[in-house]
Amino acid sequence: MKVVMLDVDGVLNSHAYSLERNLADPNHERHGGFKLKDARAWVGMLDKRAVVRLNKILSETGAKIVISSSWRHAHPPERMQKILTLAGMVGEVIDQTPVMNGPRGHEIASWLAAHPEAKRFVIFDDGSDAAEGGLDKWFIQTELAHGLQDEHVMRAIHILGRK
């Protein structure tokens, strides 16, 4: 099994997208005014261009998604599937990483240790702590300024391998 460990803020949205859409900065509170369970409201925070790039990775590699984003605190995998599908994603959310005290890389490593069937993976995150625990070889760091870009897509496909 191939897996994309997915952060959302700074990957599927960006500061540039937030400015285009007149949203607040992706790393600050901007969720007021709608209910957490309102998936359609959350969809507006996702840049369709980044979702198209994610789709290219998923379709060319056959990878599944594990949510490592802080969004997992508000949305279980089933709701993340709905949000991402409404945003145009064609893939499957299969799980989320455990919530632990410490760097995100340790949460990812814990999930990988519990799922040896995940033979190949990449980690998308705009924060460097996702690479902690010896995961830097599979880590693709995006920037909050621009989110997921074409060069990240090509690198992910190279790491995961085509179908």
Task: Give the DSSP per-residue string, the chain.
Answer: -EEEEE--BTTTB-HHHHHHHTPPPTTS---TTS-TT-HHHHHTTS-HHHHHHHHHHHHHH--EEEE-SGGGGT--HHHHHHHHHHTT--S-EEEEPPP-SS-HHHHHHHHHHH-TT--EEEEEESSGGGGTTTTGGGEEE--TTT-S-HHHHHHHHHHH---
| Separation of alpha carbons 2 and 160, rounded Å | 7
pLDDT of residue 30: 47
In sequence order, the 6+-apart residues with CB closer than 8 A to the CB of 146 are: 14, 15, 16
pLDDT of residue 22: 75
Look up residue 9 and give its two tokens: 């803020």
pLDDT of residue 141: 97
On whether the CB atoms of residues 40 and 75 are closer than 8 A, the answer is no
| Separation of alpha carbons 128 and 62, rounded Å | 26
On whether the CB atoms of residues 130 and 5 are closer than 8 A, the answer is yes
pLDDT of residue 25: 47
Those residues of the chain that have pLDDT short of 50 are: 25-26, 28-34
pLDDT of residue 104: 96
The verdict on pTM exceeding 0.85 is: yes
Q: Which of 62, 50, 41, 43 shows the shortest CA–CA distance to 15?
A: 50
CA 74 to chain centre: 14
